[in-house]
Amino acid sequence: MKILIAGATGFVGKYLIDYLLEKGYSINALSRSKQVSHHKNLVYFQWDIHQQYIETNAFENVDTIINLTGANIGEKRWTKERKSEIISSRIKSIDLLYQYVSENKFSINTFISSSAVGYYGAVTTDEMFKETAENGTDFLATVCKEWENKAMKFNDIGIRTVILRKGVIVGKDGGIVQKLAPLAKLGINVSLGSGKQYLPWIDIRDLVKLYEFILSNSKINGIFNAVSKENITMNEFSKTLLKSYKMRTILPNAPAFIIRLLFGEMSVMFLEGSKVSNEKLKRTGFSFEFDTIEKSLLL
């Protein structure tokens, strides 16, 4: 099977490419800059969302498209311009992929796209959100809704479409751990606000295994929460991260008002969070190897 990966050079993309190559897949990877591969089953192709361009031969003999594109939501303050970039980077990339597939009638069987648990809104409650829950009303929830609606265009033309609403991705060399590790290594408490907000998460090793599981199970279709079964709080995450560096702390949590001053509207990402169910995903037969935060960070 040959896979086309859009957004291949990010944290998840790099892990996923290595994992799928090891499993024997052939990969065409889309990159904004010219890159050279040193693996016989990996070829890079250039694309430019703003110029509405993809090297056409990137689609040659491709069976599945995996879409990982999107500007990092936690990288900068949410100015009006940054919000526009967050939305357009997700919407325009899918539109461009769809345009090339539909206009050239490429024989794509499966489209796997990203979303996030932010779909349910930035709230802290004890409600367990399943895939059937209503969409939230804040900025991130709106982004996720538009993101998913665009992805479902592939479903409308008869292509199997799978959307993963991902939690926070945990891996020692990327994502949330990479950002907080410098503080944790010094014994600084990395919990924010009350620390009672939930942190839906998934280990990067389980996430790439999930992609391969979907590739090899053609009956899987629709929207799934890609999260671990363990619904931990920010306090619990902070404690385990410190433990992974053999540290403890007596320092208090960073106050919520400081986080709001520093990050503005974006602070809801850090200060709010609810429980998210993975029961629908588990019913497909997928099993998590790193289903507790201790296994993820300490093993």
Asked whether residue 194 is assigned to any structural domain, the reply reads no
pTM across the whole model: 0.96
- What total number of domains does the chain contain? 1
State CA 102 to chain mean position distance: 25
Asked whether residue 275 is assigned to any structural domain, the reply reads no
Residue 39 to residue 26: CA distance in whole angstroms: 10
**Which amino acid type is present at position 92?**
K
> For residue 36, what are the domain limits?
2-169+202-227
Asked whether residue 193 is assigned to any structural domain, the reply reads no
Asked whether residue 274 is assigned to any structural domain, the reply reads no
Q: If you search the block for the tokens 């345009």, which residue do you land on?
A: 99
Query: Which residues pair with residue 206 across a beta bridge?
Result: none
Give residue 50's pLDDT.
92
Asked whether residue 64 is assigned to any structural domain, the reply reads yes
Asked whether residue 247 is assigned to any structural domain, the reply reads no
Give residue 23's pLDDT.
97
Six-digit token pair at 93? 């990339």
Contacts of 175 (CB under 8 A, 6+ apart): 11, 168, 169, 204
Asked whether residue 234 is assigned to any structural domain, the reply reads no
Q: Phi/psi at 250 (nearest 5 deg)?
A: -115, 5
- Give the SS3 label for residue 198: strand
Q: Domain containing 78 — which CATH number?
A: 3.40.50.720
pLDDT averaged over consecutive 10-residue blocks of the chain (299 residues)?
93 96 97 89 96 95 97 92 96 97 96 98 95 96 97 97 98 91 96 97 98 97 97 97 95 95 94 97 97 94
Asked whether residue 154 is assigned to any structural domain, the reply reads yes
Give residue 221's pLDDT.
97
Please, are residues 218 and 244 in contact by the beta-carbon 8 Å criterion?
no
Query: Which residues pair with residue 66 across a beta bridge?
Result: 5, 112
Residue 195 to residue 289: CA distance in whole angstroms: 26
Give residue 80's pLDDT.
95
